[in-house]
Amino acid sequence: MRSPAWASIAITAFAALANAGTPSTLAELCTDSIVKAALPPSEFIKGITIDSDSVTTEVVTNSSFSSEFYPSATIDYCNVTFAYSHDGIDGDQVLLEIWLPAPTNFKNRWLSTGGGGYAINSGDQSLPGGVMYGAASGMTDGGFGGFSNNADTAMLLANGTLNYETLYMFAYKAHRELSLLGKALTRNVYGMSDSDKLYAYYQGCSEGGREGWSQVQRFGDEWDGAIIGAPAFRWSFQQTQHLYSNIVEKTLDYYPPPCELDKIVNETIAACDAMDGKVDWVVARTDLCLLDFDISTIEGKPYSCAASRGTPAQNGTVSAKGIEVAKTIINGLHDSQGRRVYFSYQPTAAFDDAETQYNSTTGQWGLDIDQLGGEYIALLVDKNGTTLDSLDGITYDTLKDWMISGLQEYYSTLQTTWPDLTPFHNAGGKVIHFHGDADFSIPTAASIRYWESVRSIMYPNKDYNSSAEALNEWYRLYTVPGAGHCATNDAMPNGPFPQTNMAVMIDWVENGVVPTTLNATVLQGENEGQNQQLCAWPLRPLWTNNGTTMECVYNQRSIDSWHYDLDAVPMPVY
């Protein structure tokens, strides 16, 4: 299905315009009439009507952007927006915003971009990362009522009634429509012929990473390359585990002052820094840290934090209870029979989910229900709101039940861990997948588990090393030393971040340059600007020669530490 019938319909419809001459400047290209003429016809996707009167165009020049996801750049583009609707749904309207580079800068590339949390786009933040590489770049509002409306605001029609169109749009349908419509418009507006190759890329992190996988898993032959950071997939497990830290606190009846947990993180970094062979206040081997460092040794160390907005100054010594809370969180969710349900963040990750709140009346720290975890339960399990007011009666076994019932209820929509990527692979697609080693919102092991699922499902007859090698030819996973959730980390400022992924992906797809290691840059601190390379799983980084040479090594013990037997779940969890 690479060249469906509608492609030639669209090209024919555009012929009149092409004859009149393809626009050669941004100003010529960026008019309502040119864009209207380049829209694909309404029958292009069955059940979709494009509102050609809704087209807006605006030339934007000399616009500067900086981001951790692309190098700083100043760009010119045409800002195009238009609306379409799904036939048979009253009042339905979906908005697309597409930034078109000037014709002389266009390099036959399309980029789809995603969102974060319950957002399906990142506003103006992601589109520059395509335009600067000559890609027409697009985002969608998902039909949720505007680009700044998140899916959660449209998910309930009434209490008890889920909006299934919103669910499916958020899960994968909106991105499918964005890429089909965006690519067709791009081909037409730049006068590309049927035989011209339009390279199709995806870039997104967190929920945006899940959205990327939703496309790669279902519409594999639509993509040449997907850049996916820390994806929020395995949805029912991922969202529910946000509440695990709270239930640990409740079960152990101890609500640590934030400063105490901060101290545990700092001492863990100090203790594990050198395990990677380089003393640089970056823990590149959180696997060895998990295996070889016992955080009990931190008990009794004094901590002190100044007062800041809403929180008083905190002084004390790390308590046995504080250590027990931290250890139980790192150990991951187990049910009442001691069987493993899920896994947790790596040591050195901040304890964000365990954040407590101060009661100035009592002078005590108490429960602060994690917003993302609470929202999943209120919105998609209870279906009657977006916040959870209480965790009364909730136990480790309740969390297990929510993970398993959610696996079933959202298997075909939000779960997003379908492990057979054969169509994508057969079409020549490439994936760069990365995940911060100190991610405090999505466990790093969540990404490792998925890569391993794809490996074992797609190469069932090969041994570990040969299947890993085969998968790495087209899907590579890198952990990012010191990085937090889809970002650099102030607690380990000397860590690298892969800022040039789009350039690396283009080199891989279009020039065959395999990213054996992933290009990364230190983006803050005293070594700002320094280049570092990230190892591809299952190899792990190890510095030698007093921290001057990095190698990517095979270490069975480390690899094994990332693999979990979820024996409390009576189903495969990919």
**CA–CA gap between residue 385 and residue 156 (Å, rounded):** 8
Of 304, 299, 307, 274, nearest to 289 (Cα)? 274
Residue 57 interacting entry, from ligand NAG, Ca ion, none, C-beta within 5 to 8 Å by type: none
Q: Letter for the amino acid at 245?
A: S
- Segment (H or E) for 321: helix 320-331
Residue 282 interacting entry, from Ca ion, ligand NAG, none, C-beta within 5 to 8 Å by type: Ca ion
**CA–CA gap between residue 521 and residue 59 (Å, rounded):** 32
Is position 285 an interface residue for Ca ion (rule: CB under 5 A)? no
Residue 112 interacting entry, from Ca ion, ligand NAG, none, C-beta within 5 to 8 Å by type: none
Query: From the CB of 273, what's the least distance to Ca ion, in Å?
Result: 4
Residues 6+ apart with CB under 8 A from 529: 521, 522
Among residues 173, 278, 476, 485, the one that binds Ca ion under rule CB under 5 A = 278
Q: Which is nearer to ligand NAG, 117 or 385 (CB)?
A: 385
Query: From the CB of 385, what's the least distance to ligand NAG, in Å?
Result: 5
Residue 273 interacting entry, from ligand NAG, Ca ion, none, C-beta within 5 to 8 Å by type: Ca ion
Q: Which is nearer to Ca ion, 191 or 498 (CB)?
A: 498
**CA–CA gap between residue 84 and residue 94 (Å, rounded):** 5
Q: Which is nearer to ligand NAG, 49 or 266 (CB)?
A: 266
Quick note: the x/- pattern for Ca ion over 257-276, rule CB under 5 A, is: ----------------x--x
Is position 282 an interface residue for Ca ion (rule: CB under 5 A)? yes
Q: Structure tokens of 18? A: 């092409």
**CA–CA gap between residue 403 and residue 245 (Å, rounded):** 15
Find the part of the chain contacting Ca ion (CB under 5 A) among 13-21, 109-117, 224-232, 279-287: 279-287
The catalytic residue positions are: 206, 439, 485
E strands, 446-548, in order: 475-480, 496-497, 518-522, 531-534, 540-544
Is position 287 an interface residue for Ca ion (rule: CB under 5 A)? no
Query: From the CB of 264, what's the least distance to ligand NAG, in Å?
Result: 9
Q: Structure tokens of 162? A: 């889920």
Is position 100 an interface residue for Ca ion (rule: CB under 5 A)? no
Q: Which is nearer to Ca ion, 451 or 543 (CB)?
A: 543
Q: Which is nearer to ligand NAG, 305 or 458 (CB)?
A: 305
Q: Which is nearer to Ca ion, 211 or 280 (CB)?
A: 280
Count of positions (residues) in the chain: 574
Residue 64 interacting entry, from ligand NAG, Ca ion, none, C-beta within 5 to 8 Å by type: ligand NAG
Q: Structure tokens of 8? A: 């030639």
| Torsion (CA) 155, 371, 440, 210 in degrees, nearest 10 | 0
- Note whether 281 and 269 are within 8 A (CB): yes
Peptide bond connecting 493 to the previous residue in cis, omega within 30 degrees of 0: no
Q: Which is nearer to ligand NAG, 83 or 232 (CB)?
A: 83
Query: From the CB of 36, what's the least distance to ligand NAG, in Å?
Result: 15
**CA–CA gap between residue 286 and residue 272 (Å, rounded):** 8
**CA–CA gap between residue 273 and residue 233 (Å, rounded):** 30
Residue 146 interacting entry, from Ca ion, ligand NAG, none, C-beta within 5 to 8 Å by type: none
Q: Distances in Å between the alpha carbon of 559 and those of 120, 177, 484, 574?
A: 34, 39, 21, 17
Residue 259 interacting entry, from ligand NAG, Ca ion, none, C-beta within 5 to 8 Å by type: ligand NAG
Half-sphere exposure of 473 (CA within 13 A, CB side): 10
Query: From the CB of 278, what's the least distance to ligand NAG, in Å?
Result: 8
Q: Which is nearer to ligand NAG, 259 or 509 (CB)?
A: 259
Q: Which is nearer to ligand NAG, 331 or 384 (CB)?
A: 384
- Note whether 560 and 554 are within 8 A (CB): no
Query: From the CB of 282, what's the least distance to Ca ion, in Å?
Result: 5
Q: Which residues pair with 113 in a beta bridge?
A: 203
- By the criterion CB under 6 A, which residues form the site for ligand NAG? 56, 58, 60, 62, 64, 79, 81, 97, 124, 156, 158-159, 259, 262-263, 266, 303-305, 313, 315, 359, 361-362, 382, 384-385, 464-465, 491, 500, 503-504, 507, 519, 521, 531, 546-547, 554
Q: Structure tokens of 362? A: 């009592």
Query: From the CB of 62, what's the least distance to ligand NAG, in Å?
Result: 4
In degrees and rounded to multiples of 5, residue 156 shows phi and psi of: -110, 130
Residue 276 interacting entry, from ligand NAG, Ca ion, none, C-beta within 5 to 8 Å by type: Ca ion
The SS3 assignment for 75 reads strand
Query: From the CB of 47, what's the least distance to ligand NAG, in Å?
Result: 25
Q: Letter for the amino acid at 8?
A: S
**CA–CA gap between residue 78 and residue 61 (Å, rounded):** 9
**CA–CA gap between residue 483 and residue 219 (Å, rounded):** 30
Query: From the CB of 303, what's the least distance to ligand NAG, in Å?
Result: 5
- The residue with tokens 């279902």 is 218
Exposed/middle/buried for residue 61 (C-beta within 10 Å: 0-12, 13-18, 19+): exposed
Residue 470 interacting entry, from Ca ion, ligand NAG, none, C-beta within 5 to 8 Å by type: none
What is the binding site for Ca ion (CB under 5 A)? Answer: 273, 276, 278, 280, 282
